[in-house]
C-alpha cells in the first residue's frame, strides 16, 4: 500500500512537469467561488482527476481544476473547488493538496468558503474575515505518522490566522469601502445542516459562522509553516429561535452574488502582499 509521502511525491512530480515555477500562494476556493482571480500570466490548467492521488471535487459549484498563474509578480496556485470529509475523504486526503502546494513553494494559503452565519447581526452576502476557528469535525489531518519534512508533531495554533495578514485585509476593505465582518469559524463534519439545538450550542461556544471545510486545510497549512488568510461568505443566518430552511441552490446564488466584491478584495490583497524570502 502506497504511503502518504509517496502519494504526495507522485502528485508533486505531475505538477512539476506542467510548471517549474516556484509558487508563492495557494488559493483554495469554495462553493460557487472558483472564479475569484484573473491571472496576468497563465502557467497551466489541469483537472484534479489528472493529478495522481488527488481528491476529486464531487459537489456542485466546485469546478475541480487546479490553475497556475501569476498576478502582480506573485505566482499563485488556484484550487477551483475543494474537498470535504462528508464526501468520504479522509483528513489525510484533504491535507495532500496543501502539502503538494507547499512542495511547489507556497508560503501562504488563502481560503474562501461558503458558510452559515451564527451571529444574528450578520446578513446573507456578508464577508467574514476568520480570526480563529473551532474544530468540531472530530477529525484532524495530522493524525497518524508525523511527516517531519513538513512540520513538527505538535504544531502550535496560537496564530493560525496571523494578525499582520488580517490587518492587510482590513486595510484593503476600508480603502475599497467593502463592509467586512470578523469572527470565529466553527467546522462541523456535515453534510446534514445544523438543528436549532446544535445552532444554539455553536453560538454558545463562541462561533460566529459555521461550515464544513476550511479548518482541515488550515491545520495542514500551519503544520507546513504556511501563513493563512481565510474569509467566509455568509450565505444565510441561523437564528436558533426562528430557523428557516436553506437550499444549496441558495448558497450558490449568494456566493456568485458576492464574487465580484471578493475578487476585488483578494486581487488587491495579492497586490499589496510582500512575499517573505
**What own/partner pairs with CB < 8 Å and gap ≥ 24 does 168-171 have?**
168/229, 168/269, 168/272, 168/273, 169/129, 169/229, 169/231, 169/265, 169/269, 170/129, 171/272
pLDDT on residue 5: 94
Residue 203 lies in a domain: yes
pLDDT digits (tens, 9 = 90+) for 232-241: 999 999 988 8
The domain in which residue 138 lies consists of: 22-272
Residue 11 lies in a domain: no
- CATH number for the domain harbouring residue 192: 3.40.50.1580
Residue 186 lies in a domain: yes
Is residue 63 classed as helix, strand or coil in its secondary structure?
A: coil
Q: Which alpha helices (H) appear in the chain, and where do they start and end? A: 4-18, 91-103, 163-175, 196-204, 215-223, 248-272
Residue 15 lies in a domain: no
Residue whose C-alpha cell is 445542516: 193
Give ∠ CA 115-120-121 in degrees, rounded to 5. 100
Residue 140 lies in a domain: yes
209 preceded by a cis bond (ω within 30 of 0): no
CA torsion sign, 51 to 110 to 180 to 71? negative
Residue 223 lies in a domain: yes
Residue 16 lies in a domain: no
Residue 96 lies in a domain: yes
pLDDT on residue 31: 65
pTM, two decimal places: 0.95
Is residue 108 classed as helix, strand or coil in its secondary structure?
A: strand
Q: Which alpha helices (H) appear in 208-247, and where do they start and end? A: 215-223
- Tally of structural domains, the chain: 1
C-alpha cell at 131: 480570526
Mean pLDDT by 10 residues, the chain (277 residues): 91 96 95 79 95 83 84 96 92 96 98 94 96 98 95 97 97 97 97 94 98 97 98 92 82 85 95 83
Amino acid at each position: 500500500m502506497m504511503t502518504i509521502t509517496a502519494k504526495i511525491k507522485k502528485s508533486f512530480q505531475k505538477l512539476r512537469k506542467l510548471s517549474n515555477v516556484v509558487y508563492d500562494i495557494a488559493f483554495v476556493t469554495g462553493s460557487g467561488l472558483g472564479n475569484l482571480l484573473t491571472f496576468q500570466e497563465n502557467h497551466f490548467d489541469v483537472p484534479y482527476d489528472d493529478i495522481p492521488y488527488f481528491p476529486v471535487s464531487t459537489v456542485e459549484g466546485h469546478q475541480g481544476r487546479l490553475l497556475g498563474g501569476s498576478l502582480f509578480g506573485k505566482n499563485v496556485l488556484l484550487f477551483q473547488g475543494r474537498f470535504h470529509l462528508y464526501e468520504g475523504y479522509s483528513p489525510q486526503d484533504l491535507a495532500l493538496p496543501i502539502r503538494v502546494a507547499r512542495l511547489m513553494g507556497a508560503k501562504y494559503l488563502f481560503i474562501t468558503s461558503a458558510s452559515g452565519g451564527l451571529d444574528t447581526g450578520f446578513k446573507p452576502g456578508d464577508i467574514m474575515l476568520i480570526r480563529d476557528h473551532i474544530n468540531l469535525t472530530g477529525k484532524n489531518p495530522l493524525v497518524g505518522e508525523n511527516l517531519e519534512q513538513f512540520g513538527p508533531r505538535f504544531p502550535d495554533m496560537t496564530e493560525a490566522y496571523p494578525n499582520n495578514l488580517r490587518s492587510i485585509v482590513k486595510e484593503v476593505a476600508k480603502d475599497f469601502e467593502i463592509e467586512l465582518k470578523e469572527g470565529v469559524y466553527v467546522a462541523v463534519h456535515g453534510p446534514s445542516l445544523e438543528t436549532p439545538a446544535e445552532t444554539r450550542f455553536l453560538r454558545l461556544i463562541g462561533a460566529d459562522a459555521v461550515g464544513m471545510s476550511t479548518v482541515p486545510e488550515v491545520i495542514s497549512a500551519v503544520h507546513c509553516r504556511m501563513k493563512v488568510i481565510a474569509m467566509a461568505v455568509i450565505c444565510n443566518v441561523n437564528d436558533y429561535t426562528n430557523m428557516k430552511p436553506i437550499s444549496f441552490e441558495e448558497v450558490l446564488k449568494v456566493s456568485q452574488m458576492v464574487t465580484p466584491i471578493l475578487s476585488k478584495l483578494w486581487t488587491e490583497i495579492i497586490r499589496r502582499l510582500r512575499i517573505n524570502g
